[in-house]
Amino acid sequence: MNMNENEFRASQAGGLPPTYSHPYNQQPVAAAPVLTPPRPKKKRVAALVTAGTLAAAVIGGASGAAIAGLDSGSATGPATSATTVSSTTNTDVSAVAAKVLPSVVQVNVTTRQGEAIGSGVILTADGKILTNAHVVSGAVGDVTITLSDGTEYQATVLGADTKADIAVLQAKGASGLTPAALGDSGKVQVGEQVVAIGSPGGLQNTVTSGIVSALDRDLSDISSGEPDTPFGQTANTSGGPSYTAIQTDASINQGNSGGPLVNMNGEVIGINSALYSPSASSTGSVGIGFAIPINDAKTIIEQIENS
């Protein structure tokens, strides 16, 4: 049974992982940050959770795992039965999914705490991959990327920016991959329909749809204090990722981290990175997710490539 880092934390702490814990605590990967509902006239208080999955072996059979029915060995491979389209309000969602799925990968990472799972976006035919920094935080050795057709490659981390929560990987010996079309997040409008693709719970090739529910959401204004992590540590939220996000009601869950948020032209407008939870006991999407604007990601990608 495979779980992501956030799920791992959820199982140990009885809820979703703490805000921005991955890059700074060197713990298992990728889930979407979580927040507690804001109170009127007061600073927003919330628990941000990153989106990924990690191996149940690390949990030692702890209850509360959000993943069920997954093998205890390698991450669940892509399968037609694992592909879902939910909240569909436009028949074009199926066309968007068909166009973008070949450009989305599952990212499996080995950390000192166990196995973790996230998602990624193919940037170049020779295997350059975009994902979240928290997905590969604490990686030991190479990471494994799995294409939508099940093909696997080993990949190295070219660089990462923990503040922007962006990382770039390079698949070894890859060729002929299908790069995603990157859009212009500056043109995104509130209310426009979007599609999210990734591996929530290790279920690769999962597709969900919704709308852009808000823009310019400053995540640095949202904090969760210092919640305990599944490892008995206190998360330091003061130095976590800080960026202005696209907010969406497309379902984003643990394992979606690093995957694309795309418009109805099949262009990537954001990188899914966090989800909002109204309480520490919540373990799934409540219709509020956050994505890093792709224009911001492009800047970080260029900095990493030129460093």
Does residue 154 lie within any of the structural domains? no
CATH no. for residue 91?
2.40.10.10
Catalytic sites, residue numbers: 134, 165, 257
Does residue 161 lie within any of the structural domains? no
The residue segments making up the domain with residue 257 are: 5-101+181-296
More confident residue, 5 or 195: 195
Does residue 24 lie within any of the structural domains? yes
Q: How confident is the model at residue 239 (pLDDT cuts 50, 70, 90)?
A: low
pLDDT of 292 > 80? The answer is yes
Does residue 144 lie within any of the structural domains? no
Strand extents, DSSP E, the chain = 31-32, 47-51, 53-54, 85-86, 104-111, 114-122, 128-131, 143-146, 152-161, 166-171, 181-182, 193-198, 206-218, 244-248, 260-262, 267-277, 289-293
What local confidence, expressed as pLDDT, does residue 82 receive?
39
- Tens of pLDDT, residues 76-121: 344 433 344 444 444 589 999 999 999 999 999 999 988 899 999 9
More confident residue, 167 or 231: 167
pTM tops 0.85, yes or no? no
Domain count, the chain: 1
Number of helices (H), then strands (E), belonging to the chain: the values are: 6, 17
Label residue 44 exposed, middle or buried (CB < 10 Å: 0-12, 13-18, 19+).
middle
- Tens of pLDDT, residues 169-215: 999 999 999 999 999 999 999 999 999 999 998 999 999 999 999 99
What local confidence, expressed as pLDDT, does residue 16 receive?
39
Give the CA distances from residue 89 to residues 36, 193, 194, 211, in Å, rounded to whole numbers and listed in that order: 29, 9, 11, 10
Give the chain's mean pLDDT.
73
What is the Cβ-side half-sphere exposure of residue 164, based on CA atoms within 13 angstroms?
22
Does residue 54 lie within any of the structural domains? yes
